[in-house]
Copies of this chain bind each other. A is one copy, B any other.
Amino acid sequence: MSDRLDWFLDRSSPEPLHMQLVRFVKSKIEDGEWSVGMRIPSQRDLAANLKVNRSTVVAAIEELTAMGLLEGRAGGGTYVVNTTWSVLAAKPPLNWLHYVEAGNHRPNLKLVQDINEAEFQPGIIRLGTGELSSELLPQRGMQQILSRLSQGPLWLGYEEGRGNARLRQAIAEHMGRAGIHGSASSILIVSGALQALQLIAMGLLERGSTVLIENPSYANSIHVFQAAGMQVSGIPMDDEGLRASLLPHYRQQTAASLLYTIPSFHNPTGTVMTDRRRSELAQICRQERLPIIEDDVYRDLWFDAPPPAPLKARDPEGMVLYVGSFSKTVSPGLRIGWITGPEPVIARLADIKMQTDYGASSLSQMVAEEWLRSGAYEAHLAELRLALRARRDRALQLLEQYCGGIAQWNKPQGGFYIWMKLSGDVPMVRLFELARQEGILLNPGIIYDRHTSQHLRISYAYATAVDLEYGIRTLSGLIRTLLRGPIDES
């Protein structure tokens, strides 16, 4: 529950260690941090974290149980059952967990929660993370921009609903270079692309409606649509991207109201939708009157040539909501992305954004504008593309070396991801846990496609060269151990 036990025993104190532990737990309960109904950390975790004998922990828990504050449960685990006050009262104490369980919003997938948490474990090797390594993030460039901003006037107030007008203008020009025509008034600044989807789910879709997505898709990992009461339905892909010709069939079967697609350097497969497929898709969606969310956050991360023009640039009927972001290129921590679409849609989404968080950080918006305006964005991209391509080459070489015969994979032309298919069925939960014990965090394919137990998303964007090699080598060993059936050891 806690990020860590922010407390240390005083071994030089005359007070026995177990009584110090009793005091610690009491203070957690008295300060309202550990509430009634909460399961406290296990005896083993407490002993390990505090570097004491298990018997010390047991003595403390017995004492606290005698005081009426804790209680062991038959099914296992020790729970807070009273506050120091309520122990004397007739009425049962407030149990926040009833509130936690009552809330509308569904919790994140357990596996995704585990991954979110594990990502902050010191030293863990993140082999599938959808994020640039800190060495690829432009420290120096950001310092220069902050220094420049510190010398001029700063806007510290709230921004207008759609976001900083100068940033929107800069983004309109940036998108113009990709063939998208539109003015600043049809752009909404959001706190990252995920929030764009959140606002669309809240503002444009009916509960019970269906969103078509690629299968596999990043959309399955976030369940932003599901949490708002929508279904998602996945359409198969091939080497050219989403199989557009299947759309009419899927639409008819599901009465879908929207298509969500990632045409450039698709997450998790790395696929680039071909120019031909994009034209076909655009035409079919026009015929079907099926609006599109085009998630194009990886577009600028091409290695040899830019991907084909966005769907939004082939959109004479205004059916595409285009989503962009700075998170995959400059800094995820900025939390700046954008949506471009018809003005009534943008106005509606801006209103909801104002209602939920009063707009994105104005500081982040000033910084993002400066990146675009100054040309630093393009300069950084030129370097980033080279570095990412070198990382991709290295990852492919390591896969060749260690995973030949036990898996297959694609050769991505940009973005972060390799979609790896194991040559046989592997108990994926077991693989995930074994890898974690070896200090390696995996992104199992099931996060993106709940019917696969054969895939892993590998990212070459995050781990260092050394970690990548150790990670892939170790992974190979674990897979070989777990693979049922004959393995080609050639």
Please list the residues of chain A having a beta carbon within 8 angstroms of any beta carbon in chain B. 1-4, 6, 27, 29-38, 83-86, 91-94, 96-97, 99-100, 102-105, 107-108, 113, 116-117, 119-120, 131-132, 134, 137-139, 142-144, 146-147, 149-151, 153-162, 165, 181-186, 191-192, 194-195, 198, 202-207, 209, 222-224, 227-229, 257, 286-287, 289, 291, 312, 315-320, 330-336, 341-345, 347-348, 351-352, 354-364, 367
> A194–B357 contact, CB under 8 A?
yes
A1 vs B37: C-alpha distance when bound (angstroms) = 50
Contact of B182 with A32 in the complex, beta carbons under 8 Å: yes
Q: Give the complex CA separation of A293 and B42 in angstroms.
A: 30
A291's partner among B31, B37, B99, B156 (CB-CB below 8 A) is B99
Residues of A contacting B: mostly = loop
Q: How many copies does the complex hold?
A: 2
Whether the pair B182, A154 counts as a contact (CB closer than 8 A) is no
Pick the contact of A3 from B35, B162, B222 — CB < 8 Å? B162
Q: Which of A150, A158, A336, A341 neighbours the largest number of chain B CB atoms within 10 Å of its CB?
A: A158
Q: Would you call B315 and A32 a contact (CB within 8 A)?
A: yes
B198 and A96 contacting across the interface, CB-CB below 8 Å:
no
Minimum C-beta distance from A315 to chain B (A): 5
A447 to chain B, nearest CB (A): 14
CB distance from A285 to the nearest CB of B (A): 9
The reply to whether A357 and B105 contact each other, CB–CB distance below 8 Å, is no
Q: A147-B151, A157-B332 are in contact. List 17 more A-B contacts (CB 8 A).
A: A32-B316, A32-B342, A33-B183, A35-B342, A94-B317, A96-B318, A96-B342, A97-B344, A102-B206, A107-B351, A131-B157, A143-B151, A146-B147, A146-B149, A150-B150, A156-B331, A194-B356
Report the bound CA distance from A334 to B366 in whole Å: 11
Pair B100/A204 contact, Cβ less than 8 Å: yes
Report whether B93 and A204 are in contact in the complex, using a CB–CB cutoff of 8 Å.
Answer: no
Closest chain B residue to A3, Cβ basis = B185
